[in-house]
Amino acid sequence: MKVIEVEGVEAGYGREKVLRDFSWTVERPAFWAVLGPNGSGKTTLLRVLMGALKPWKGRVRIQGKELSSYGRRELARTIAVLLQGEFFPVDFTVEEYLLLGRYPYLRLFSGIDSRDREVLERVCELTDTCDLRKKGLFSLSSGEFQRVRVARALLQEPSILALDEPTVHLDVDHVFSLMGLLRNLAQSGLTVIAVLHDLNIALDYADMGLLLERGRARVSGNIREVLSPENVSEVFRVRAHLRNGHLKLEPAQGRP
């Protein structure tokens, strides 16, 4: 059974079409980097996968089941999506915030039980957030908060974790720490899908890549094949060279 199947999807906002005849398949769990110029449809794809944006056309199946047939809680137990711009007007403690991730499992008028606590302990150990649990969200650094967001998503116990530019505004050491965590999660059997702008970070950590261009899937597959100098040069309109396993980018000839 395929993890994700997207066939001929068109989607957008108002009259603006963003995804155009978009197709993509995730055959098995892996770490996927979603890449492409600004406006190519990366975030829109995540919104479609999380059920927040209904496609105008085409089909989406997650784990063999039509996306449209998922209930809200069932979908939250299957895929967790972290978009940018999350804001809280209340200074929750980290533990209070993390336990929000258990909502897909809570029954009416029921509270947090021993099973929820077990999952909390396991996820905190996995994400190295145990020491943060009594802190307020407002006191966290950007790197700490991003790890806590990932932990909350994992409390949903999803089989798919999708993140929109998870490394934005992070210091370099926090980038390495977070990407290492995501790689470990993928190696443990979780499907990880991360929208990334840093092509070399994608090369270092991801197994697979999806390169978008003007709302279409230009190419998908092994990350090093997807981010070949030829593909990068054509899609990003730069000159790309591979040196010591990393891309070196220069302005295209004739451009400042």
Query: The CATH number of the domain where 73 resides is what?
Result: 3.40.50.300
Q: What pLDDT digit, counting tens, does each position of 149-172 carry?
A: 999 999 999 999 999 999 998 999
Has residue 225 been placed in a domain?
yes
C-alpha–C-alpha distance, residues 184 and 192, integer Å: 10
172 in the Ramachandran plot: left (φ > 0), alpha (ψ -120 to 50) or beta? Answer: alpha
Q: Which of 130, 133, 126 is nearest to 186 (CA)?
A: 126
The single-letter code of the amino acid at 161 is: L
Task: Count other C-beta atoms under 10 Å from residue 28's C-beta.
Answer: 10
Has residue 151 been placed in a domain?
no
Has residue 110 been placed in a domain?
no
Q: What pLDDT digit, counting tens, does each position of 21-75 carry?
A: 999 999 999 999 999 999 999 999 999 999 999 999 999 999 999 999 999 999 9
Whether the pLDDT of residue 97 is over 70: the answer is yes
Q: Give residue 171's domain range.
A: 4-90+159-251
Q: Where are the beta strands (DSSP E) in 102-245?
A: 160-164, 191-195, 208-213, 216-222, 238-243
Q: What pLDDT digit, counting tens, does each position of 109-137 carry?
A: 677 889 999 999 999 999 999 999 999 99
The single-letter code of the amino acid at 211 is: L
C-alpha–C-alpha distance, residues 4 and 30, integer Å: 12
Q: What pLDDT digit, counting tens, does each position of 70-92 carry?
A: 999 999 999 999 999 877 778 89
C-alpha–C-alpha distance, residues 149 and 79, integer Å: 14
| Chain position carrying tokens 């790890």 | 147
C-alpha–C-alpha distance, residues 196 and 203, integer Å: 11
Number of domains in the chain: 1
Task: Count other C-beta atoms under 10 Å from residue 65's C-beta.
Answer: 14
In sequence order, the 6+-apart residues with CB closer than 8 A to the CB of 63 are 1, 2, 3, 78, 159
C-alpha–C-alpha distance, residues 256 and 252, integer Å: 8
